[in-house]
């Protein structure tokens, strides 16, 4: 009889928002993991269902349309035996608190991970440009914590938000990466010209477009991936300690 594999902490990824951003997160998760073989990587179960209604459009319209889809994804990951949840979508964190209240599992927060990375990489930053969806800006997912740290958040402004940031995000979702890079690079340069010491690329499509562009920037997707690795290494260490005690 074959022995059952030892129980391992599994990360659940509530993804599909959008699919390319989820794939980017998975690559960064693998790259952040200290592993020398397949078996040393983290077990991950991905709920990559892109049919979640647009988070930004819903929030700006006062709609809760994404909620049942997010909750269904959470329940699917719970049923699959996941031990923690990551959501590689900044705007979906409008619903983070409600999701966290619906489960006993830890639901890692992309904004908290990004701000820890910001403090580590740019400790002297006092003005930070936030490139994000209009909903992430309106929901102030980053603003309150930046303000609590004495940091001013700089936004692109309504015109540039529509013509460059939103257009760039939409271009990534449509697979037009070169076009997206042009729009978003212009928006990033604009924020730097206005005095931003660093940038937060606070929509998971944006780091996809700006990959390889030299910027003083924090990638929240990468920060979330590193937070997930930290969680998993701690869970693995705890499991190993328990095994030695039995």
- Domain ranges, ordered by start, for the chain: 11-110+222-245, 111-219
Say which CATH class 111-219 falls into: alpha beta
* Tens of pLDDT, residues 21-65: 999 999 999 999 999 999 999 999 999 999 999 999 999 999 999
Q: Given 154, 167, 203, 210, which residue is catalytic?
A: 203
**Does residue 203 carry a catalytic annotation?**
yes
Supply the pTM of this predicted model. 0.93
Taking the CB of residue 105, how many other CB atoms lie within 10 A of it? Answer: 16
Q: Examine domains 11-110+222-245 and 111-219 and report if their fold is the same.
A: yes
pLDDT at 6: 46
pLDDT at 246: 59
d(CA 208, CA 35): 24
**Does residue 82 carry a catalytic annotation?**
no
Torsions phi, psi of 7, nearest 5?
Answer: -65, 130
- 2: pLDDT confidence band, cut at 50, 70 and 90? very low
Tokens 């990489």, residue located: 121
H/E stretch holding 147: helix 143-148
CATH number of the domain located at residue range(s) 11-110+222-245 in this protein: 3.40.50.1860
Q: Given 9, 58, 74, 89, which residue is catalytic?
A: 89
């Amino acid at each position: 009889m074959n022995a059952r594999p030892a129980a391992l902490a599994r990360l659940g990824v509530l993804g599909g928002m959008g699919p390319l951003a989820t794939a980017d997160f998975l690559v960064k998760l693998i790259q952040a993991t200290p592993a020398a073989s397949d078996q040393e990587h983290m077990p991950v179960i991905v709920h990559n269902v892109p049919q979640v209604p647009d988070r930004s459009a819903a929030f700006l319209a006062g709609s809760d349309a994404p909620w049942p889809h997010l909750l269904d994804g959470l329940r699917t990951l719970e049923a699959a035996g996941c031990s923690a949840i990551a959501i590689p979508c900044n705007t979906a964190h409008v619903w983070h608190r409600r999701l966290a209240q619906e489960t006993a599992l830890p639901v890692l927060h992309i904004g908290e991970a990004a701000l820890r990375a910001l403090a580590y990489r740019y400790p002297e930053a006092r003005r930070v440009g936030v490139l994000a969806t209009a909903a992430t800006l309106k929901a102030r997912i980053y603003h309150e914590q930046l303000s609590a740290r004495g940091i001013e958040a700089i936004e692109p402004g309504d015109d540039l938000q529509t013509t460059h940031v939103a257009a760039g995000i939409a271009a990534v979702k449509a697979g037009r990466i070169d076009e997206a890079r042009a729009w978003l690079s212009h928006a990033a340069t604009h924020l730097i010209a206005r005095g931003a010491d660093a940038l937060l690329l606070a929509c998971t499509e944006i780091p996809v477009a700006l990959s390889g562009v030299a910027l003083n920037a924090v990638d929240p997707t990468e920060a979330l991936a590193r937070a997930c690795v930290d969680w998993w290494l701690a869970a693995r260490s705890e499991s190993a300690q328990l095994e030695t005690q039995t």
